[in-house]
C-alpha cells in the first residue's frame, strides 16, 4: 500500500514512520508512507497556503490551488483514493479501517487554519472525522487512520492480526489481563487464572468481557446481543 500525507507540516509525518510496528511494516516494504508538502504547490513567491475568508469573519482559510495541486501530484504518481480529514467528515470506525486496508493508494489531505476553501471538496472522494473534539489540524487524525489501516495489512502483525480483528468484530471489549507477579501491592491475580483449568479460564474471560462491555459500552453490548441473535436465526 502507498500512503501520501498532504500537509503543510511534512516533518510531522516522521512521528508515524519512525517507531515500532509501522516502522517495521515500512522496512519490510509492506507500506510506503510519503509526506507531500502542500506549500510546494503554492504559486506565489511567498508560497502562501492560506488567505482571509470572502465575506469576512475570523481566521484564515486554506487556499484551493496548493491543496488541489498536491492532490493532482499524488494522483499523478498512481491512481488513489482521496480522503479529507475534517471535523465535518463521517466518523472513523474499525469497519472503515477494514475497507481502506483494501485500497492500493490512500491520499490523506490534512487541513489547517480555521477551514478549507469549499471548492477543494470537488477533488475529494470522502471525508473522515475521528471524533467530536476540536484539534488544530488533520495531521493527527491522518496518523490515527494510518495506524488503524496499516496494522490490518497482510504480514504486518503476523497471524495474530486476523484473530484480533475477528475478536473486535466479535464485538466485545477485552477481558482483564494479568502478568507476573501474582500479587502486586496487595492486589492478587484472580485465582482462576492460576488454576491451569483452560475451560474455566475461557468461561471466566467471556463473562468478564460481557460484564465490562455491558457497563462501559452499552451500545457495543446491544450490538453484540443483536448479532448473536442474528447468527442464531441464520440459514
Residues forming contacts to ligand 9D3 in the complex (CB under 6 A) are 85-87, 111, 114-115, 129-131, 133-138, 141
Q: Which is nearer to ligand 9D3, 115 or 171 (CB)?
A: 115
| Closest separation in Å from C-beta 43 to ligand 9D3 | 24
Q: Which three cell numbers stand for residue 185?
A: 501491592
Count CB neighbours of 14 within 10 A. 11
Q: Which is nearer to ligand 9D3, 96 or 212 (CB)?
A: 96
CA 22, 150, 1, 64 dihedral sign is: negative
* CA distances (Å), origin 93, targets 21, 97, 98, 103, 149: 20, 6, 9, 16, 11
| Closest separation in Å from C-beta 86 to ligand 9D3 | 5
Q: Which of 204, 127, 218 is nearest to 172 (CA)?
A: 218
Q: Which is nearer to ligand 9D3, 68 or 84 (CB)?
A: 84
CA distance linking residue 118 with residue 176, whole number of Å: 46
| Closest separation in Å from C-beta 232 to ligand 9D3 | 37
Q: Which is nearer to ligand 9D3, 87 or 208 (CB)?
A: 87
Helix axes 218-233, 198-216, angle to 10 degrees: 120
Q: Which is nearer to ligand 9D3, 128 or 156 (CB)?
A: 128
| Closest separation in Å from C-beta 137 to ligand 9D3 | 5
Q: Which is nearer to ligand 9D3, 86 or 101 (CB)?
A: 86
Helix/strand number for the chain, H first, E second: 9, 10
- Exposed e or buried b per residue across 99-138, where buried means at least 16 C-beta atoms within 10 angstroms of its C-beta: ebbebebbbbbbbbbebbbeebeebbeebbbbeeeeeebb
| Closest separation in Å from C-beta 136 to ligand 9D3 | 6
| Closest separation in Å from C-beta 195 to ligand 9D3 | 45
Amino acid at each position: 500500500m502507498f500512503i501520501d500525507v498532504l500537509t503543510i507540516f511534512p516533518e510531522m509525518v516522521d512521528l508515524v514512520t519512525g517507531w515500532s510496528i509501522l516502522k517495521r511494516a515500512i522496512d519490510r516494504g509492506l507500506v510506503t508512507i510519503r509526506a507531500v508538502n502542500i506549500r510546494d504547490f503554492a504559486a506565489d513567491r511567498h508560497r502562501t497556503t492560506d488567505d482571509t475568508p470572502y465575506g469576512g469573519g475570523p481566521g484564515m482559510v486554506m487556499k484551493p490551488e496548493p491543496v488541489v495541486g498536491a492532490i493532482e501530484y499524488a494522483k499523478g504518481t498512481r491512481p488513489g483514493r482521496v480522503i479529507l480529514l475534517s471535523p465535518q467528515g463521517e466518523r472513523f470506525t474499525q469497519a472503515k479501517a477494514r475497507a481502506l486496508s483494501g485500497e492500493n493508494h490512500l491520499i490523506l489531505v490534512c487541513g489547517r487554519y480555521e477551514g478549507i476553501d469549499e471548492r477543494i471538496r470537488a477533488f475529494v472522494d470522502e471525508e473522515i472525522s475521528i471524533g467530536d473534539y476540536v484539534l488544530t489540524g488533520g495531521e493527527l487524525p491522518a496518523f490515527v487512520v494510518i495506524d488503524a489501516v496499516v496494522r490490518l495489512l497482510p504480514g504486518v502483525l503476523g497471524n495474530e492480526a486476523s484473530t484480533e480483528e475477528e475478536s473486535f468484530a466479535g464485538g466485545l471489549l477485552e477481558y482483564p489481563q494479568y502478568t507476573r507477579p501474582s500479587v502486586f501491592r496487595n492486589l492478587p491475580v484472580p485465582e482462576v487464572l492460576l488454576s491451569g483449568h483452560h475451560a474455566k479460564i475461557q468461561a471466566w474471560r467471556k463473562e468478564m468481557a460481557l460484564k465490562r462491555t455491558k457497563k462501559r459500552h452499552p451500545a457495543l453490548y446491544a450490538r453484540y446481543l443483536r448479532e448473536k441473535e442474528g447468527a442464531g436465526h441464520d440459514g
